[in-house]
Structures are given as structure tokens and as C-alpha cells.
């Protein structure tokens, strides 16, 4: 083995020793398990309407986009979907990407670009933001000033501390936090951003489809300022894949010219966008499913607390069971799998040290019986 390969092997051995080794789930057994590990919050991923919409879009526009949007990949479907997202999010414009990860990495890197801004920006970021948001900052070479999770008093104090600093400022936050299932106060975040002259970038990956009067996300409840950029995914409640950014027309034009992950990547497939647009159009009619989902999540939290389990500050369809130790978390996940239930064991670096957890992702497709089975399996741990 070359020295380089030995180092990879040593890394895997060390991860395994610490309970941090990741393995792909076994596909033979996965289909038989009751699944609480996904993000298909509205149960749309297997809906025949979406599959048919994908096929129809494929027939009209092709299976693949054949090139980047700036070359051969721009279709009326891409443009129509973006117009729809913009309208429904209350933004002037929108831009779709092949994944949410790509959207965050590309858009944040471009928005924080020192060259365009004339100086390194001051970036105020929630401590628990997603890895793809960190990547965007890293690509831009922008250092982050991390505020305590959801602590807007801390954010305000940091903003005041830097009030006399003339460098451009940006605030980055998820709206529903994917590993904790708690909510950011979007109105307050936008108020703070406007008061301090900062750009506000909100990630609605886990809110899109589940929150907002019509299911378009938490930012649906505020009037978006031109300096607010709202990102979301088509991969979670919408049941497909892809990401989007809803923003001003100016920011869209800027991203088309400066976001590497948009410029140098093939446009999202019409198959994917056809299915995602079908799901998007269903959102306003899924109010009862959203209400039932959130009610079920609340009943689950009450039951789990009754078992002495710690569900953190979750108030959404994402319910963590905090166990702390990674080895214990992996053992609990495996024990649940042996009982026919699949959950995620989330460990560092995805979450901070000492906060390893089982992550329960609820779906409108779960039944009351499924919920009872889950609680009974957790009781037996
Ligand atoms: C908060 C957040 N943002 C972005 C992403 C990336 O989205 P996608 O899975 O569509 O690439 C995720 C996915 O895990 C996420 O949780």
C-alpha cells in the first residue's frame, strides 16, 4: 500500500474506533424497514402524479438538459418553474440549481465574493448552519462570526459590536434547522439585517413544503426585502431533488454571472424539474397533511419525553433524540433496525461533539400505527 492509501485506511480505522464511521445503508433490508430516516415530509416521493409529470417533461424537453443554462440547457420549463417559485415566495425572481448543496455553495460563495464587494465581508452565521452554507463561506474565503444557535440577542450584540465597521455584512441562517427541528424567527432576522445594512440569506431546505400558509416556507410570512435571499430545496418535502434561490432580479442576474455552481454545471434535468413543479403546485392543497404532520410530531415528542428521552428544542416534523455519545447512538440505531425501524444516527461532524442523536424525520405518509411502533421500539431501547 502506498503511504497515501495507508493514511486513508488509518483514517477509516480511527473513525470506526470512535463510532464515527459512515456506511451506506444495506439496500437488501432497507425496503422492509419502517422508515423514519428520510426527508419525504409530505410523502410525495412515490406519488404517481410526480412520476407521470417527470415522464411528460422528459417527453417534451428530454431526459437531460444537455448543457449549462447559459449554453444549451435553458428550457421553458426551467423558466416557468422559476417564475412560479418567485411568485409564490413573494420574490422578484428565482434561480434553480441541481441540488440544495450546490445552491448554497455556489450562491453564498458568489454573494460573499471579496472582489465584487470590495472587501472581505463580515459574515454572521448561526452556529448550527448546514455544511453547504459553511462551504459557500469557505469558497469565498470569508471568516464567519458564529452566534449561538437561534440566539438573536447574541447576533444583535455582535452586529452592534461591529456597527462602525464599514465592511459589507451578511447574516446566514436556516429557518427550520435540519438536525434539531427548531425554528428561526425570520421576521426578527430580517429586521436585524435591515437595521444593520446586512444581506440576509435564509435556508428553507426543511421549511419548504411544511411551513407557511401555502407551504412555501417560513419566509412566506414576511415581506421579503430586496436584500433578503431565500434558498430552499426541491429534495425534501417536495420529494424530488434540486435547489432554488428566490431573490431580487438584480441578485438573480448577479448569480447567473458569478455563481460557479450555476455557470459551470449542466442545468437540472427536465425529468427532475417536471416532477418538482408538479409537487410545488400541490403544496397549497396539502394544508391538512401539514397540520396532521406537525400534530403527530407534537404527540411523538410528548410520548418520548414520557419515556425520559431528550427531544431538544424541536417543534417541527424533525424530532431528535439526543443521546450524546456516538457509539451509544449507533448501537441504538442498529437496535431499532433489528426491530424493523430505520432512523438516522447523526454524529459529529454533522452535529457538535457530545450531541450525537437519533434523528426522526416524520412524514405525512406515516400512519398512527407506525408512530405506535416507533414509540414502542424506543421504549425497549
Ligand atoms: C439545511 C440544509 N440545506 C441544504 C441542504 C442540501 O440540500 P440537498 O439535499 O438538496 O442538496 C440540506 C440537506 O441535507 C440541508 O439540510
Could you read off the pLDDT of 109-148 as tens digits, one per residue? 999 999 999 999 999 999 999 999 999 999 999 999 999 9
**Containing structural domain, residue 280:** 48-284
Residue 306 CA, ligand 1 centroid: distance in Å = 31
Share of the chain above pLDDT 70, in %: 100
Domain boundary among 284, 319, 352: 284
Residue 1 CA, ligand 1 centroid: distance in Å = 36
Tens of pLDDT along 77-103? Answer: 999 999 999 999 999 999 999 999 999
Hey, what's the cell of 294? 406537525
Residue 100 CA, ligand 1 centroid: distance in Å = 5
For residues 111 and 68, membership in a common domain is answered with: yes
For residues 28 and 146, membership in a common domain is answered with: no
Whether omega for the bond prior to residue 31 falls within 30 degrees of 0, making it cis, is no
DSSP state of 83: H
Q: How many domains does the chain have?
A: 2
For residues 145 and 257, membership in a common domain is answered with: yes
Ligand 1: which of 130, 230, 241 to mutate, judged by most atoms within 8 Å of the beta carbon? 130
Residue 327 CA to chain centroid, in angstroms? 26
Domain boundary among 242, 258, 284: 284
**Residue 1 — pLDDT band, cuts 50, 70, 90?**
confident
Tens of pLDDT along 237-288? Answer: 999 999 999 999 999 999 999 999 999 999 999 999 999 999 999 999 999 9
Q: Which atom of ligand 1 is nearest to the CA of 178?
A: 16
User: Is residue 5 assigned to a domain?
Assistant: no
User: Is residue 307 assigned to a domain?
Assistant: yes
Q: Which residues approach ligand 1 with their CB closer than 6 A?
A: 99-101, 104, 130, 132, 174, 178, 203, 205, 233, 235, 243
Interstrand relation of 34-35 and 341-342 (parallel, antiparallel or unpaired): parallel
Q: What is the mean pLDDT of residues 47-60?
A: 98
For residues 45 and 60, give the distance between their C-alpha atoms in angstroms, rounded to a whole number: 22
CB 52 within 8 A of CB 254: no
For residues 196 and 85, membership in a common domain is answered with: yes
User: Is residue 15 assigned to a domain?
Assistant: no
Residue 27 is part of a domain; what is its CATH number?
Answer: 3.90.1150.10
Neighbour tally for 212: CB within 10 Å: 21
Ligand 1: which of 97, 99, 101 to mutate, judged by most atoms within 8 Å of the beta carbon? 101
Q: Which residue's C-alpha comes closest to atom 8 of ligand 1?
A: 100
pLDDT at position 281 is 98
CB 108 within 8 A of CB 140: yes
Amino acid at each position: 500500500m502506498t503511504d497515501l492509501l495507508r493514511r486513508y485506511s488509518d483514517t477509516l480505522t480511527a473513525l470506526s474506533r470512535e463510532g464515527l464511521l459512515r456506511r451506506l445503508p444495506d439496500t437488501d433490508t432497507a425496503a422492509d424497514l419502517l422508515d423514519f430516516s428520510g426527508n419525504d415530509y409530505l410523502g410525495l416521493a412515490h406519488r404517481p402524479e410526480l412520476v407521470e409529470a417527470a415522464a411528460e417533461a422528459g417527453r417534451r424537453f428530454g431526459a437531460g438538459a444537455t448543457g449549462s443554462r447559459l449554453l444549451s440547457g435553458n428550457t421553458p420549463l426551467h423558466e416557468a418553474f422559476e417564475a412560479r417559485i418567485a411568485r409564490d415566495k413573494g420574490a422578484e425572481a428565482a434561480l434553480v440549481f441541481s441540488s440544495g448543496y450546490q445552491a448554497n455553495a455556489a450562491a453564498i460563495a458568489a454573494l460573499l465574493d471579496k472582489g465584487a464587494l470590495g472587501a472581505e465581508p463580515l459574515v454572521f452565521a448561526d452556529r448550527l448552519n448546514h455544511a453547504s452554507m459553511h462551504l459557500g463561506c469557505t469558497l469565498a474565503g470569508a471568516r464567519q462570526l458564529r452566534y449561538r444557535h437561534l440566539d438573536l440577542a447574541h447576533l444583535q450584540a455582535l452586529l452592534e459590536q461591529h456597527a462602525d465597521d464599514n465592511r459589507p455584512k451578511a447574516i446566514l441562517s436556516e429557518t427550520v434547522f435540519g438536525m434539531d427541528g427548531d425554528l428561526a424567527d425570520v421576521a426578527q432576522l430580517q429586521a436585524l439585517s435591515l437595521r444593520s445594512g446586512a444581506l440576509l440569506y435564509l435556508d428553507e431546505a426543511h421549511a419548504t413544503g411544511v411551513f407557511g400558509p401555502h407551504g412555501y416556507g417560513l419566509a412566506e410570512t414576511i415581506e421579503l426585502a430586496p436584500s433578503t435571499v431565500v434558498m430552499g430545496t426541491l429534495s425534501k418535502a417536495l420529494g424530488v431533488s434540486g435547489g432554488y434561490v428566490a431573490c431580487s432580479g438584480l441578485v438573480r442576474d448577479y448569480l447567473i454571472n458569478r455563481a460557479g455552481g450555476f455557470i459551470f454545471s449542466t442545468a437540472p434535468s427536465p425529468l427532475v424539474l417536471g416532477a418538482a413543479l408538479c409537487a410545488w403546485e400541490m403544496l397549497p392543497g396539502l394544508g391538512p397533511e401539514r397540520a396532521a404532520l406537525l400534530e403527530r410530531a407534537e404527540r411523538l415528542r410528548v410520548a418520548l419525553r414520557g419515556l425520559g428521552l431528550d427531544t431538544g428544542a424541536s417543534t417541527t416534523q424533525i424530532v431528535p433524540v439526543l443521546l450524546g455519545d456516538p457509539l451509544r447512538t449507533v448501537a441504538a440505531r442498529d437496535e431499532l433496525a433489528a426491530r424493523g425501524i430505520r432512523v438516522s444516527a447523526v454524529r459529529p461532524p454533522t452535529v457538535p461533539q457530545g450531541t450525537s442523536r437519533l434523528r426522526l424525520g416524520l412524514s405525512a405518509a406515516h400512519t398512527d400505527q407506525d408512530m405506535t411502533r416507533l414509540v414502542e421500539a424506543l421504549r425497549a431501547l
